[in-house]
Structure 1
Amino acid sequence: MSAWTKHAAPFSVFCFLLLLTAFTTRGFSETRFPVVPPWLDNERDQAAEIARDLQTHPFSRTVEQAENRGAIPDGPVLTPRDTRALLEQMDKAHAARRSRLEAYYSGRIVDELDQFGYDMFGTATAGTDSSPTAVNIPIPSGAVQDDFILGTGDSLTVTFRGERTDSRTYPINSQGFLVVDELPPIAAAGRPIGQLRQMLEAEAAKRHDTQVYVSLDSVRQIGVLVVGHVKKPGRQTLTVFHTVLDALSAAGGVEKTGSLRQIKLIRSGRSTWIDLYGLLIHGDAGMDLGLRDGDRIIVPPIGPTVAIAGSVKRPGIYEIPRALRGMWHTPDEASEKRSLEEILAMAGGVLAPGENRFVKLGLTTDGRETVDEITAPYAPLFGDGTILMVAASTERRAGTVELTGHTRRPGLHALAQNKTLAALLSDETAFGPDIYPLIGVVERWDKNQLSRTLTAFSPLLVLKGGYDRKLQDGDVVHLFSRTQIVKLGDSEKAPGTTEEGSNEDATADIVPDKALRSFLRERAAFVRGAVRDPGPWPVAEGVSLENLLAAAGGATLEADTSRVELTSALSGEGHQSHGKSGTRRTLVNFREQNPANILIAAGDAVRFNQTFGKPENTSVLITGEVKHPGRYDLLPGDKLSDLLERAGSLTTEAYPDGAIFSRESERRAEESRFHMQAQDLEIKLAAALEQKDAPDATQIAAVQQLVDQLKQAQAVGRITVEADPGALATEPALDMLLESGDRVYIPRRPLMVRVAGEVLSPAALQFRKDKDPRDYIMEAGGFTFHADKSRVFVLYPDGSAQPLLVDVWNHKAAFIPPGSTIVVPRDPKPFDFLETARDLSQIIANLAITGIWIDDLSH
C-alpha cells in the first residue's frame, strides 16, 4: 500500500470540506487563511478535527448565507489563492510523514512504497502513557493452563465448598508461600498452578466433606527495558503474560529507522535474536517470545533493504539480513544476496500466474544505477538498495473464444467445448431477441501480419447447419441486432451525420467499432421497391433471396413477384462481362423459381415492382341535402354526378347552386398563400419601421393583427362546381372528376341574403327579388367609418363573386339571388405606409370569403 493510498480517506474529506467552503463564499475580499494546525499521527482523528474546525471557522458559510449577497461577513473568507496555498501545505506535510528510506526508493521509481511491517504497531504517540499499571493489567481471556508457573506477587482465588464455605483472594508473599486460612503455608513460587491445585485438594481431603477450587486472580508485574529505535524508549511495566510484541507496542512501536529482523532480547546475560518477518509473513508465533522480569529489548538500526514494485501482491520495502558488521562496505557486500524466488516470496508472489517480466534496478560501487532483466529464479542477485520491478507481459487468456454483441451468452467461452461456430451458437438461446440473422463477424488476430482479420458468416445458416467454421484461440465472434443494422443504413442515407455525433441514447444501438461498421457496409445488398422495409442489408456468403426478403420485412401485397429485378456483379468464369458491362440484370419469377435457391452476394440490388390496380384507402365525403349522406369509397374515374347518384340524389329542399366543393390540395395551397402573405407583411412592416416617417403604434397594431389572422386562418379550398344533376346530364364537361379527400356540401334552399364586413349590424336578411344591394346594406345599418365603399362585392351561392356599385354617386342595381353574401371590405387606409397596401384589399376580402365558407360548412 502506498503512502498516498494510506492517507487518501482523510485527505479527500479535508479537500471536499475545503472546496465546499471556497465555493459557498463569493463576492468578498481576498484575505489570508491561518496556518494549518500540526498533523496528528492518527489520521482518523485528524480528519474529524479538520472537519469540526471548518464547520466552526468564520470562513465557513452555509448555502443560505452565501445566497444572501447583501449580508456582510463576520470575518475573513477563504479565497482560491488560499485554497491553493493550503493544498500545497498539505502536500508538503504528507511528504514529510514519509521516511527517508521510503522517499529514497520512491524517488527512483514511479510507485510510492511503504516499509513493510511497521503498521502492525498502530499509531501510538510518544508521550502517551500506554503501559499497563497494577490496577489495569487484565488476565488473558480463557482458562489459565496448568503449566503456568506461579511467582511472587501473583494472587489466587481459593473457594471452599461443603463443610467449609468461603472464598478469598490470597497473594503469594515475598517468601514464595501461599498462606490460606486454616491450612498450613504452601510453597507456591516456582510451582505450576496445576501442581498447587493438587496440593490444596489434598489438604482439603483431610477435612470432612470439603472441596476446594483454585483460580488465578491477578498476575505479578514485570519490568522490561525497551531501547533503541522505538518511539518511546524506556522501562515498560508489563505482566508475565505479555510478549515481545506487547513490549514493543507499549514503547510506541518500532520506528521506520529501526530493524524488524535483528531485534535483540537479553535475559540473564544471554542474547536471543528475534526476526519478526517470520511472524509477519509466515505466522510463526515462536518469534513472539514471552517476557520475564528484567528482560531487555534492543532495537538496532534497520539493516539492508530491497524494494519490490509492480504486479505483486504486497509491494513494499523489505529488510534483508545483514552479511557484514560495520559501515565500510560496498553495496554488494552489505547484505546476504537473495534470489528472485525469495524476494517474490516476501512480497506474496506475483498477482497472476503466467508470463511476467522481472527487471532489477541495481547500484554499482560508484552509485550508478543499472537495469537488468532477470530470468534465473534461484540466482542470488538482490542485495542492499536493489529494486525488483514486476510487469505482466500479456493479459491474453489462453484457450478461450469471446462471444460479444447481441447475445444472451456474452463473455468468454472455453475453446475446448466450442471448437466451431456451430458449437458456440448451438441453439436460439445464444441469440438476442432482435438478432440480425444474415451476418455475423469472426475477428481473428493474424500473427503473420500483426493485424486482425474479419470474416463474415450467417448466424441463420450456422443455426440451420448450412455453414460452420473452426474457431481458434482468441477469436472474437460478433453478433448484431436488427436495430444496429438499421442505424447503419440510416447513417449512410444521411452522409452529413456520423455515429460519433449521435446523442447518448442512440449510441447504444450503434456498432461501436469503426472497422466493423465499414466491413458491414461493404457487404450490403440493396432491397428496393414494394417491400415493407427497403434499404441496405449486409449479407454473408450463402444468404439466399428468400433470407434477404425476410430481413426486409417481406414483400407488400401489391408487389409483383413475377418480375423481380436482380442486379448483380459479374464475377468468375461463368459470369464474365466480356467487356460489355460489369453487372448483369435478371428477372426472377417466384412462381417458376424458388427464391431459396437464388444466392445473394454483397453489392447485389433487388427490386420488387408494384402492380397496378392497387386498392387504396381513397374516399370522398358528401353531406347536406342528399338522401344518403356520408363517406363513399372512390374508384378511378368517379365524377360528381356518380357521387350524387350513389348518395340517392338530392332532396326536395336541396339548393345545388349553393353547393360547396372543397378539395384538400387546394386547401393546402390556400393556407400556404395565407402564410406567405403574412410573412410578406412582416417583412414590409420591418422595412417601414426603418424609414424616417415610421408608422405609429396604432398602424403597427393593425398590421400585426392582420398578420395573426393570416397565420391562424383555416382555408377551405373551395372550387366552383355545377352540382345540379340535370345540368350535369346535359353538359358532361361540367362534371367534376373526384379526388380522394374531396368534401361536398349541398345546402338547404335559402330564403335570405347575408350582409357581412364593415356594416353597423351584419345580419342575414330576408330575400326579396325587388331589392338591390344598397337596400340590403341599409337594412344592415349602413356603412361603418372604416368601410371601403368602392370595393363592395357579392359572393354568390356557387362560390363565384362580382363587384357591386353601391356608392351614392356611383350606384347600379343588381339582382342578388337567395343564399348570396354581400361583403363590405375594410378600408386599407391604415396600411398606406406599406408598399403593398394596394394588395391588402384583396387579402382582406379573401379572409372574409374564407370565414363565410367555414361558417356555411359548420352549419
Structure 2
Amino acid sequence: MSLQTKYCGKYYSYIWYIFFFSFFFCAKIQAQKKLNDFSDEQLKALFLKAQANGMSESQIKEAMLLKGYSSAQFDTLQERFTKKYFNNLQPNSPKEIISARQVIKPAIPFVKKDSFEHHSPKSAIFGASLFTQNNLSFEPDLRIATPKNYQLGPDDELNIDIFGNALDNYKVKISPEGTIKILNLAPIYINGLSIETASERIIKHLRQLYQGINLPQSGVSAQITLSNVRSIKVTLTGEVHRPGTYTISSLASVFNALYLSGGPSENGSFRNIRVIRNNKIVRIIDLYDFLLRADQKDNIRLQDQDIIRIADYETRVEIIGEVKRPMIFEVKSTENLKEILRFAGGFTDKAYTNLISLKRNTATGLKLFNITEDEVLTFIPKNGDKYTVGAILERYENRVQIKGAVFRAGEYALERGLSTVKELIKKAEGLKEEAFLNRATITRKQENNEPIIMAFDVGKLIRNEISDIPLQREDIVEISSIPSLREKRTVSIYGEVNKTGVFDFVEGLTIEDLILFANGFTDAASNTEIELSRRILDDDSTNTNHEQVKIFTFKIDRNLKLSSENSGFRLQAFDRIYVRKSPNYAVQKSVRINGEVNFSGVYTIKDKTQRITDLIHLAGGLKKEAFPKGAKFMRDSSVLAIDLAYILQNPNSSDNLLLLNGDYLEIPRTLETVKLSGEFLNPVAVTFRQHLNVKDYIRQAGGFTDKANKRKLYIKYANGISDKTRKFLIFYTYPKVEQGAEIIVPSKQNENIHKLSTGERIALVGAITSVSYLLVNISNNLK
C-alpha cells in the first residue's frame, strides 16, 4: 500500500467518524432522545456504514455514549436492528447484511440460528442433528422466578417492594462498581452475592429508613426480586462450529451457548466438553447423557467469563445394518460393543444377532473380524471401526403349509405331533365336505431347491388304506375342492322378466324358481311361450341325432304354475330360459300436431292403420289461414319432406304416411315472402308474387356476386323439400318459386381450392418443356 493511499484511507476514516458523530447528534436533537423516532432505514444505514468503515461494536457504542446515549439505549437500538435484519436472513440476502452480522451478532443474546449459517456436519454422526434443527433453540426462560444461589453482578436490576404500614418501590441497577443506590442511603455493595444474601444486606440497610422492616410485629415488610438480568460474556473454543465470545443472558446454561455456537464441529467431541471458570474445570459434559437419557445434570448455568472448550474426539465407530439408529458414535475407552449397540437403539426385529461383521483399519490396510454374540460384552472398539449387522434369511426352519379344501388352511410348524400329512389335515380341523378325495398333491423342494410334485389319494389316506406320508420342511399340501375342478354352474333367463341375467345353479332348481329369482314376469310377457335350451353332452347316449342343444317349451300361468304335463320339471346347469313377448301387447303410442289446426296437441295412435290425414281429422281440420304446402313432418328428430296439400287431395296416395310413435306435424300460417340467401349482392327477403320467376327475384337482390356459383342455385321450399337448377345443353332451367321458399346461391370458393396459382402454372409449363426437349434429343439419337 502506498503512503498516499494509507493517508487517504486514514483521512477518510476521520471524515466517517465526524459524519457518524454529527448524524447521531442531529438525530438526538430531532428525536429528543426518543429512540422510537429512529426509522429502520436510519438504523440500517448507521450500522452498515460503521461496519464498512471498520468500526467495531465497542467503537459504535463509545460514539453513542459520548453523545449522551446510555448503554441500555444502545442495546435497544442494536436489538431492533438485529430483529429487523438478522432474524429472517436468507441465503440470497445482501452481502453487506450478512457481513455486518459478524460485528453486531455477538452483542445480541441468543439470536435465532439462521438458514445461511446452518452447518451440516455428516448426518450420520450421532447428536449432530441436535444443533441443526430450526425448531429447537435452547433459549433460556427469562420469565421464571429468580433461581436460588443466583450471583448478582453489574447491570442486574432489582425490584424492591415495601408494603404493609409503609408503601414504596425501588427499581435499582447494580453499577459497574458492584453497588446499588437507594435514596437517602449509602451505596450498598452486593456484587458477587447470591440473591438471598444480597436481600439480607439490602434489608439491613433499609431499616435505617423503615424501622424494624421484615421483623415480627413491625408491620412493614420488604420483598426483593430480580426484575431484569444482565448480560455475560462466555467464550467457546476448540472444535466448535462458530468459536468466539458471545454475549448472552446471565440465566443461560451450557446448552444455550452450545446451540448458539452451532455445537461441536465435524472433529469435535460430544462427550468431552469442558466448562472452565477461573482457570479451573468446573464440569465435563457428556452430551450422550442428554441424548440417550434426557439427563440435564451437566446443563449448568454459566457465569461471566466462563470458557467452554470442545475437545477433539478420540474414538469414533460406525454401525450400519439392522440396528434402529445406524450412525457414527463416539466411544470412550472404557465402553464395549454392547454399549455401542445401546447407543444405536439395539437390534431391529430382522437383525441377525449371532454374528456381527467388523471392518477395522490397521497400519497397512483393512482387516475383517467376525464377532459372535458371546463376544459383544467384552469386545473393545477402536477408532475407525465399522460394524455391520446383517439381516436374518427369509427362510423358515420348520414351516409346512396346507391349502385348499380344509377348514384351517395356512402355515403350521413342523414339530412333534405334526410330522405327517394326516396329522397336518387333523391340525387344519379336517377336510371340507366338498373336498376332492381322489387326488391331492405335495409340493416339495429337493436338495438343489428345485420343486417336485408328489400325488396321493386323500380318501385312501383318511381310510388308512395307504401309509401316512412324512412331511419335510417347506412342504406344501394342496387339497382341491370339487367345485374348483369344474366350470362354474349357472342358469340364465332372458326376455320379458323384470331381472334378466345369469344365476348360480343349485340342485333341484325349477323354472318357477328361476322366474321368481328374476322378480317375475313383465306386463308384456306371454306365459304360453316359454322356451328352454339345454346343452347336450358328448357322452349323452340318448342323443342319437347328434343334436347340439335340446329345446323345450312350456306354458305357465301368472301364479308361476306349470301345466300338469310339465309339472316337476327340473333345470340343469347351463340351461337358458327365454320368455317371449305377448303378440297383442303394446304400450300407448302418441303423436303431436301443432300450428294452424283447430285442436293442436298430443293424440294417441289407436291402431296401426292411422295416417297423417287421420291426425288432421282428430285435430279438427285446418284453419282457413293454414298453409299446407309449408307443413313439416318430423320423425326421430329428422325432417320428412311431405306435400300436405297433395296428401289432403289424395288421401289414398303413398305420401299419406302411417303414423309412428313420436311423430310430429307442424302446419304454419300462410307465408307471403321469398328469402334470397347466399352469394347475392343484397341478400334479402321480398314479397311473394305469383307471376314472378327466379330471375325476377334475383334482380330484386341486386344480382350475383363474383363468387356466386350460378349453376348450383337451388330453392328450398317451406316444407323442407329442395329443387335444383337444371341444365340442357347451354340452357339453364330454374325451379319454380313458391310461397315461403328460399332461393340459395352457394359460393364457388371451394372449387378454386385445387386450382394452380400463376407461379405453379409457370413451373409446370417449364417442366413440360424440359421433358419435351429431352424426348426430342432421345429420338434424334435413336435415328
- TM-score when normalising by structure 2: 0.44
Higher gyration radius (CA): 2
- TM-score when normalising by structure 1: 0.40
